[in-house]
Structure 1
Amino acid sequence: MKQMLISKTGGDYSSVQAAVDSIPEGTGEVTVLHIKAGVYYEKLRINKPNLRLIGEGGVRLSYDDYARKPGNEGTPIGTFGSCSTYITGDNITVENIIFENTAGSSDEVGQAVALYVDADKVSFRNCTFLAAQDTLYLAKPKEEKVNRSGRNYFEYCRITGDIDFIFGSATAYFHECEIVSLDLGKEINGFVTAAATPEDKQTGFVFHKCRLVSDAAEDTVYLGRPWRDYARTVFLDCWMGAHIRREGWNDWDKASVWHTVHYGEAGSEGPGAHADKRVGWSKPLQEHELERYTLEAVFGGDASWIR
């Protein structure tokens, strides 16, 4: 196991990108990056596998690109181009790090992604994700017949945003996370999720024992809407604030998805838990169905990679 120290005031490297770039291609060795406190203003690409990133004392990985920003050719860089950090290497563990996009509000800049992940066996513990629209992008939609949407795990994390701020095609499990919806001061203040689950995937996003909180007005935030027609999202034993809309889910003006999406809940609590008011095409999960949403079942029988 190789160890590296990243620090603004002295260490093996002063930037996270320099440390990642120094790792030889094809190495099977686990590399541990100890990142000292500070704001690392980098458009970061973590494209090497078998890494552990450990923040020590307040670490921010920050950038400020946004979808409407003109690129080199004068055209907008788009949602994918706006990402502050990209993780595309498999088998990565991240602890105690803040990922942020500081571009501004949704109304001003549109989509501005804090973190993009398109990799398998990537886990986050005690991390924070800060942005507005499209905060956490968990893999592009997979339209091809054979897809590689990875498995991602989040534990004791805090995710803040407003419009579709947890979205993508990955299979992701959120355990005891705080999901914070920003107040836009509007009649509709946003959508927590926008899954793009591939048709052949049995599971998309699973939220387990999470807290959904907000300063937004009562009944102004949806649990989710389908970025793709086979979106799958469930909330299990979660606490929901009054900002969550009674109907829970939005069809993105596509009535056809009523027969293809899988939106479900079990054990919801709090003022936003209106089990009897949800749209008819969502699903109250029965006791016998919960076995398919254990951590092991969600990740195909193998959760040993979560450290």
Structure 2
Amino acid sequence: MLMIVSKNAGEGFSSLQEALDSIPPGEMQAVTIRIKPGIYEEKVTVVREAPPILLLGEDQHSTIISWNDNAHTLGADGEPLRTFRTGTLNVFAEGFTAENLTIRNTSGPGTGQAVAAFVDAGQAVFRRVRLLGDQDTLYTGPGRQYYDDCYIEGDVDYIFGPATALFDRCHLHNKRSRGYITAASTPEGAAFGYVFLDCRITGGEGVSECYLGRPWRPYAHVAFIRTVMDGSVTGEGWHNWGQPDREQSSRYEEYGSSGPGACPEGRVAWSRQLTAQEAAQYRILSVLDGWHPEGY
């Protein structure tokens, strides 16, 4: 099934949510929604009952889904939304894919948690997607997620959650100093949390002292494999969130980091530099437990 969303009158649905809402209940056939260039100012939800959905933009810089809720925004019930209800794009359906578009939360710095993409699906794929925000830009809920050639920016805990998520050739951008890229809450016993393969990290002008991660929950797992890091990354690399006991249970790992932010001798003692043999185990099929999203 193919749908079109466009800013041009008569060219399809004018709203992405309108297109999603038009899918008949119980529909099983995969749905592709082609999104024409434009800025779509709307809060979008892909419900759990939806069939496999592909949101396909024409260009990641000109096809933009945008909203501005933050943790202090009042909801319809008159209560603050808090973090988990702030998402611009909210994905609950199995078998979700987004390609060639931008998802942003424009709430701005200093407004607290403001999620751009809230992804709570068993399997989800993002290819050539820009995720723009400040604090808590991307929530990765339970399940397996794959991010390919994506751009993700923020300042505080801007990739967070319990997912097993593989970031393949992605660009992470620190917007302000003394921030944190990841806040993983990997479940106890999970083999993998966040794995970054062949990525790069940059910072805005003058940005410094940014940490690769801090443990939102005790068993956080994050691995950076062959990542190019600029000077915005602090030499310590990792932060314990003021909870020294989590130094014993968290697993923070690197292999082959390069650039001014790569400082193996300066990293906190409770992180690890992997051997070549250990790093070789960090492959798509291994991390995602046999699921290969390229065939998805």
TM-score range, shorter chain: over 0.9
Match of 1:199 among 179, 188, 204: 188
CA offset at residue 249 of structure 1? 0.2
Q: What is residue 65 of structure 2 aligned with on the other side?
A: 61
Is 1:181–1:216's contact at 8 Å kept on the other side of the alignment? Answer: no
Aligned positions, number: 291
CA offset at residue 73 of structure 1? 4.4
Change over 3 Å in CA distance of 1:52–1:265 after alignment to 2 = same
Cα distance in 1 between the residues matched to 2:19 and 2:55 = 11
Is 1:60–1:98's contact at 8 Å kept on the other side of the alignment? Answer: yes
Q: What is residue 138 of structure 2 aligned with on the other side?
A: 136
Is 2:238–2:267's contact at 8 Å kept on the other side of the alignment? Answer: yes
Is 1:218–1:245's contact at 8 Å kept on the other side of the alignment? Answer: no
Cα distance in 1 between the residues matched to 2:225 and 2:76 = 45
CA offset at residue 305 of structure 1? 5.6
Is 2:175–2:207's contact at 8 Å kept on the other side of the alignment? Answer: no
After TM superposition, the structure 1 = structure 2 runs for residues 1-307 of structure 1, keeping only pairs within 5 Å, are 2-9=1-8, 10-47=10-47, 48-57=50-59, 58-105=62-109, 107=110, 109-139=111-141, 149-184=142-177, 188=178, 190-217=179-206, 219-304=208-293, 306-307=295-296
Cα distance in 2 between the residues matched to 1:137 and 1:90 = 16
Please give the secondary structure, in 2, of the residue aligned with 1:255.
Answer: coil
CA offset at residue 292 of structure 1? 3.1
Cα distance in 2 between the residues matched to 1:46 and 1:175 = 24
What are the Cα deviations for residues 32-64 of structure 1, in whole angstroms up to 9, with x where unaligned?
Answer: 111101111111001223111110242111101
CA offset at residue 288 of structure 1? 2.1
CA offset at residue 306 of structure 1? 4.7
Is 1:16–1:44's contact at 8 Å kept on the other side of the alignment? Answer: yes
Unaligned runs of 5+ in 1: 140-148
Is 1:83–1:115's contact at 8 Å kept on the other side of the alignment? Answer: yes
Instruction: Give the fraction of aligned pairs with identical amino acids, expressed as a percent.
Output: 39
What are the Cα deviations for residues 84-136 of structure 1, in whole angstroms up to 9, with x where unaligned?
Answer: 1101111122111100001111x2x1111111001122111111011101101
Structure 2 residue identity aligned to 1:21 = D
Which is worse superposed, 155-164 or 290-299?
290-299
Unaligned runs of 5+ in 2: none
Is 2:176–2:208's contact at 8 Å kept on the other side of the alignment? Answer: no
Cα distance in 1 between the residues matched to 2:187 and 2:227 = 25
Cα distance in 1 between the residues matched to 2:168 and 2:65 = 23
Is 2:125–2:293's contact at 8 Å kept on the other side of the alignment? Answer: no
Please give the secondary structure, in 2, of the residue aligned with 1:19.
Answer: helix
CA offset at residue 22 of structure 1? 1.4
Q: What is residue 142 of structure 1 aligned with on the other side?
A: none
RMSD of aligned Cα (Å): 1.4
Q: What is residue 145 of structure 1 aligned with on the other side?
A: none
Cα distance in 1 between the residues matched to 2:270 and 2:51 = 40
Cα distance in 2 between the residues matched to 1:60 and 1:12 = 17
Structure 1 residue identity aligned to 2:58 = E
Cα distance in 2 between the residues matched to 1:260 and 1:215 = 32
CA offset at residue 14 of structure 1? 1.0
Is 1:30–1:51's contact at 8 Å kept on the other side of the alignment? Answer: yes
Cα distance in 2 between the residues matched to 1:216 and 1:183 = 9
Cα distance in 2 between the residues matched to 1:306 and 1:175 = 15
Please give the secondary structure, in 1, of the residue aligned with 2:277.
Answer: helix
Is 2:146–2:293's contact at 8 Å kept on the other side of the alignment? Answer: no
Structure 2 residue identity aligned to 1:16 = L
Change over 3 Å in CA distance of 1:270–1:53 after alignment to 2 = same
Is 2:180–2:211's contact at 8 Å kept on the other side of the alignment? Answer: yes
Displaced runs of 4 or more, over 6 A: none
Structure 1 residue identity aligned to 2:108 = G
Cα distance in 2 between the residues matched to 1:15 and 1:302 = 32
